[in-house]
Amino acid sequence: MYARRRHVYFAMMGTCLGLFVLAWGVVRLWSIPVAVGMCFVAMVIPPLAAVVANRRGPDDRWWDDPSGDPKSDEWWDELDGKKRRQ
């Protein structure tokens, strides 16, 4: 799941950079309003890419879910203050 999210993130950021480069390198020669519109679209992409890259998938472990490893879970519980140190 992580690899797919990472690929989608890089595709979105590549699209963002491509829009900026095309807008001011090519499109502005024909239409400045269209180039500005492309930049506004490109401006919206990075926050959406961050949301896509950081969302939790159905198989991802959340920070407070038990991992199934008793020693690791005990260590995390101790760090979180859920169990007292003996």
Angle at 4 between CA 12 and CA 58, to 5 degrees: 115
The conformational region for residue 45 under phi > 0 = left, psi -120 to 50 = alpha, else beta, is alpha
pLDDT at residue 64 in the model:
64
Burial class (CB in 10 A: 0-12, 13-18, 19+), 39: middle
The larger pLDDT score, comparing residue 2 to residue 85, is at 2
3-state secondary structure 12-55: HHHHHHHHHHHHHHCHHHCCHHHHHHHHHHHHHHHHHHHHHHHC
Dist. CA 48–CA 63, nearest whole Å: 22
Q: What is the pLDDT of residues 23-72, one digit of tens each?
A: 999 999 999 999 999 999 999 999 999 998 888 776 666 666 667 788 88
pTM of the model: 0.65
With bands split at pLDDT 50, 70 and 90, how would you rate the model's confidence at 85? low
